[in-house]
Amino acid sequence: MPNAETEFLTVTQLTTYLKQKFDFDPYLQKVYLTGELSNFRLRPNSHQYFSLKDDHAKINAIMFKSAFQKVKFTPEEGMKVQIVGRISLYEPAGSYQIYVDSMEPLGVGALYQAYEQLKKKLSAEGLFAKNKRPLAKYPQKIAVVTSPSGAVIHDIMTTSHRRDSKVQLVLFPAVVQGQAAAASLVQRLEQIYQYDDFDTIIIGRGGGSIEDLWPFNEEIVARTMAASPIPIISSVGHETDTTIADLVADVRAATPTAAAELATPQLSDVLLEIQQLRFRAINGFRRSLKNWQQLLQTQQKSFLFQHPERLYQGYSQQLDLLVQRFQSVAQQYATTQQQEFQTLNQRLLRQSPLNQVQNNQLQVQNLQRRAIRAFQVDLQQRRVEIQHAAANLDQLSPLKTLARGYTYASDQQGQPLVKLTDFTVAQEFDLHLQDGQIKAQVLKKEQ
């Protein structure tokens, strides 16, 4: 049991002490490990967190963004790798982990692994299988993307001028090795795409190791070449070195000299070919002219040229027969039309509108007389009905009642007053007589 003088440590103090042990241990400052990637999930443009394991143990790992950007291949879950880093303690979690400085695939180089991964990716997209464009047979202007110093541009210029001294070479100097090479190559290619007078592009460099040739294996360079509107000849390294740029280009050349030979025609061969074509054209024209002359002589000696009138005698006879047939058909047609006209004229006379007008006039007169009689009868009947209705109305007229000595009263608004309750004392009212009315006033009401 601890006594009263025992000093207890905090968790932080213990963890700090252990971290110092890790950080000051010279054997843990640079550790070489091999194992299988576990829990790896690629985080673009960020730090990478994963584990490294074997059959019996596992260690957590972190690779900072600055270190991971130098990795040439794409790590994948389950991939066996070799890493170099330092061991330290992560204090908040109290766990130790390895901080990775570099990583390479186990068994093959990192660059070769990256090359195979990119090759597989672009091949799956069909970037290598796209239709390869033919080179211009007689180019006037060729763009060359390479280093301004070195044997590449010298070989291209020498070979091109030897084969065709009229072709124009335009150098677009680029960095072809190192970290800045890929961006430089892309910049030069995009600059060329702005022009519309280049017939061919040559891009390349001399031989070297896979590290030296690596800018031509960058994905950004491959995609920029694939988007080119101008046919591209790739001349990177030697014949045994195949880069991604070689696979994307329209034509691959083993050497810069071979690229210049593919891009330019041999002027002497072209002139010889033109001369041969000229001779063939002249000889062909002479043979054709001779054949036509012989054919003309044969035709001139033919029977038709000796008696040209025989050529149209048959047509003249056929024309006479057609004229006779036309006249006969025209006469028959005119006779038929005249008969049809006479028939229609007779039918028209039988159905003359004058007779119909006269019959309709008689019908109108009869209808007018019938309408007048019916109107007179109806008018007389309505007069009798009106007289009868007037007599009945007269019998019901209040004037008849007034004539017998009766009257009726109404208020100022003309409403009849018929009951005692309709009147009030001192009320003024109208008393209606047979020949007029008088104003009256109620003096007294009696039941």
- Tell me the pLDDT band of 309, cut-offs 50, 70 and 90: low
CB atoms within 10 A of CB 46: 10
Global confidence as pTM: 0.47
Residue-level pLDDT at 303: 66
Q: Is the pLDDT of residue 108 over 60?
A: no
116-268 topology per CATH: Rossmann fold (3.40.50)
Residue-level pLDDT at 403: 65
Domain spans, the chain = 11-107, 116-268, 402-441
Residue-level pLDDT at 143: 93
Q: Is the pLDDT of residue 419 over 70?
A: yes
- Tell me the pLDDT band of 22, cut-offs 50, 70 and 90: confident
Q: Which helix (H) or strand (E) holds 111?
A: helix 110-124
- Rounded CA-CA distance 229/194 in Å is 10
Query: What's the average model confidence in pLDDT over 239-259?
Result: 84
What residues are paired with 85 via a beta bridge? Answer: 31, 100
CA distances from 443 to 93, 263, 425, 437 (A): 123, 142, 6, 19
Highest mean pLDDT among 10-19, 93-102, 353-362, 437-446: 93-102
SS3 128: coil
Are the CB atoms for 9 and 16 separated by under 8 Å?
no
Q: Is the pLDDT of residue 156 over 70?
A: yes
Are the CB atoms for 259 and 228 separated by under 8 Å?
no
Q: Could you read off the pLDDT of 377-408 as tens digits, one per residue?
A: 888 888 888 888 877 777 766 666 666 667 77
SS3 106: coil
* Higher local confidence (pLDDT), 421 or 147: 147
Q: Could you read off the pLDDT of 273-282 as tens digits, one per residue?
A: 778 888 888 8
CA distances from 207 to 46, 152, 436 (A): 35, 10, 143
Query: What's the average model confidence in pLDDT over 45-66?
Result: 90
User: What CATH number belongs to 11-107?
Assistant: 2.40.50.140
Residue-level pLDDT at 384: 86
Task: Give the dihedral sign, CA 19/24/27/30.
Answer: positive
Percent of the chain with pLDDT strictly greater than 70: 90
**Of the ranges 172-176, 289-293, 345-349, which one carries the lowest mean pLDDT score?**
345-349
- Rounded CA-CA distance 255/183 in Å is 23
CA distances from 153 to 73, 139, 140, 187, 234 (A): 31, 18, 18, 19, 13
